[in-house]
Amino acid sequence: IRESATLTRDVLEQHFNDLKGTLKKLLDERLTSLLQEVDAIEQESIKPLDECQKLIEHGVSTANDLLREGESAVDGDVGQQNEKLCSFTKKALHIQLDSLPEVPSLVDVPCLSAQLDDCLLTILKNQIFRHGTVASRPPVQLEEFVEKPGGILVRWCKVDDDFIPQDYRLQYRKSTASHFEDVYVGSETEFIVLHIDPNVDYQFRVCARGDGRQEWSPWSIPQIGHTTLVPHEWTAGLEGYSLSSRRNIALRNDSQSCGVLYSKAPTYFCGQTLTFRQVHSGIETVGQPDRRDSLGVCVEQQNGYDSLQRDKAVCISTNGAVFVNGKEMTNQLPAVTSGSTVTFDMEVVQLGPSSNEGGNFKLRVTISSNNREVVFDWVLDQCCVSLYFGCSFSYPGWKVLVF
């Protein structure tokens, strides 16, 4: 509580200090703009009046000079009087003493003033008093971490009954990293975070955005999650397939070589969910289907086959047919297409006296595809709690992510 309270105080102080600085800058800019407007109006309005004043002063000065010259002509001697009077008369005829420049009326002369609406303070006061809230707890909290091979299934839940979420935002970081990064934004309440290194702690946090709102809620309390399960990997080196750098994505290339691509090790354990996802390969459609195409699990790697439709294996073909030990079931699932997700779930059902005596065992298998599933029992002659997975495609363009 003390740590979060201290952090909240720091955030509030920093935010309002930033607001103060921004508001002062905006007010200073507005003041400068208004003062420049006053200067422009003053200069534009005073110029013709200054010119009018200069003309009037010049006319008055000229009349004064002429008046003095007339007085001098009258007061002079008789010999010079006629000459001075003639000069005076000529100047008087050329000077228009009875004309003045047009002077604007008083109502046409600008009279500057400032209009300052005091309601701005009221508006700002109301907005400021409503700005910011303090929440005693975030509306969304992390609920559960489920270990996955090379990943973590993160679940979260809403803890505020009055909060109506529109979107969620999940972030994570390695414990040694300084910054969180987005890993999911959407409406779901769970997400599988892949590319997780085994036995390494990761920190997670989640927030939400209310219905019709733009801002995100406060972050949940950060929690630590990790996985002890090594990531699923395809076996490298098979000529017909190209692998991603993490070897969790296999692309059927245009090689003529056929065969089954197996996992590097038996990393699928009963009680877990194995997921195959058909991802976009950059080709407009997925590869051409073939009846031998398969996705599934098996007890052991067996080379020399071009499909998983064989003994000691269960699989689904790209047309949706389900095979158990090489035999097709009557139940069928939707066809596998671009974006399809196929999942395998298995649990052990023991038959026989003891697992150490080689008795018969069966696995309860659930295969799901496109919101449909089939459930059946797979009988084996030995206990197998960890299995290989595999795929086989006859034509290029198929691209499968496994997790």
User: Cα(10)–Cα(28) distance, rounded to whole angstroms?
Assistant: 27
Residues 315 and 364 in one domain: yes
Q: What is the helix, strand, coil percentage profile of the chain, to 5?
A: 25, 30, 40
Same-domain check for residues 10 and 95: yes
Q: What is the pLDDT of residue 284?
A: 44
Burial class (CB in 10 A: 0-12, 13-18, 19+), 276: buried
Name the least confident of 3-12, 15-24, 87-96, 219-228: 87-96
Report which of 325, 346, 322, 326 is spatially closest to residue 335, judged by C-alpha positions.
322
Q: Specify whether 398 is located in the same domain as 280.
A: yes
Asked if 265 contacts 389 with a C-beta cutoff of 8 angstroms, the reply is no
- Does residue 230 lie in a domain region? no
In a domain, 362, yes or no: yes
CA nearest 313: which of 302, 297, 328, 329? 297
Examine the domain organization and report whether 288 and 384 are in the same domain.
yes
- Of residues 65 and 207, the one with the higher pLDDT is 207
Same domain, yes or no, for 260 and 372? yes
Are both 349 and 314 inside the same structural domain?
A: yes
Listed range (124-133, 199-208, 267-276, 327-336) with the worst mean pLDDT: 124-133
Give the count of domains, the chain: 3
pLDDT at 100: 62
In the three-class reduction of DSSP (H, G, I as helix; E, B as strand; rest coil), residue 180 is classed as: coil
Range of the domain at 101: 1-130
Is residue 236 within 8 A of residue 157, CB to CB? The reply is no
Residue with more model confidence, 190 or 95: 190
Does one domain contain both 249 and 209? no
The overall average pLDDT reported for the chain is 86
Alpha carbons 194 and 182: distance in angstroms, whole number: 13
In a domain, residue 201? The reply is yes
Residue range 225-271, pLDDT digits in tens: 999 988 999 999 888 999 999 999 999 998 888 889 999 999 999 88
Among 366, 305, 298, 290, smallest CA distance to 335 is for 290
Are 4 and 53 members of one domain? yes
Angle at 215 between CA 135 and CA 169, to 5 degrees: 90
Cα→Cα distances 334→321, 337, 366, Å: 8, 9, 15
Question: Is 232 part of any domain?
Answer: no
Residue 231 forms part of a structural domain:
no
224 touches 202 (CB < 8 A): yes
DSSP-derived letter for residue 284 is: S
Tell me, what's the pLDDT at 101? 64
Is 346's pLDDT higher than 90? Answer: yes
Q: Determine the pLDDT at residue 118.
A: 82
The CATH number given to whatever domain includes residue 377 is: 2.60.120.920
Domain contains 342: yes
- Measure the CA–CA gap between 314 and 382, rounded to whole angstroms: 15
Residue entry with tokens 């296999």: 250
On whether the CB atoms of residues 349 and 340 are closer than 8 A, the answer is: no
Which residues fall within 8 angstroms of residue 326, CB to CB, at 6 or more apart?
309, 310, 311, 313
Specify the range with the lowest mean pLDDT, choosing from 267-271, 284-288, 301-305.
284-288
Q: Domain boundary at 174, 195, 225, which?
A: 225
Q: How far lies 7's CA from each of 83, 133, 199, 202, 217, in Å?
A: 102, 14, 30, 22, 16
pLDDT of residue 98: 62
Instruction: Specify whether 268 is located in the same domain as 391.
Output: yes
Half-sphere exposure of 314 (CA within 13 A, CB side): 23
Residues 320 and 255 in one domain: yes
End-of-domain residue from the set 111, 130, 149: 130
Supply the CATH number for residue 221's domain. 2.60.40.10
pTM as predicted: 0.61
- In sign, the C-alpha dihedral spanning 251, 252, 255, 258 is positive
Q: Are residues 216 and 290 in the same domain?
A: no
CA distance 275 to 249: 12
Q: Say if residue 90 is in the same domain as residue 57.
A: yes
Q: Is residue 269 a part of any domain in this protein? A: yes
What distance in Å separates the CA atoms of residue 200 and residue 193, rounded to the nearest whole number? 14
From 99, 130, 161, give the residue that closes a domain.
Answer: 130
- pLDDT of 384 > 50? The answer is yes
More confident of the two residues 293 and 79: 293
Is 233 within the bounds of a domain?
Answer: no
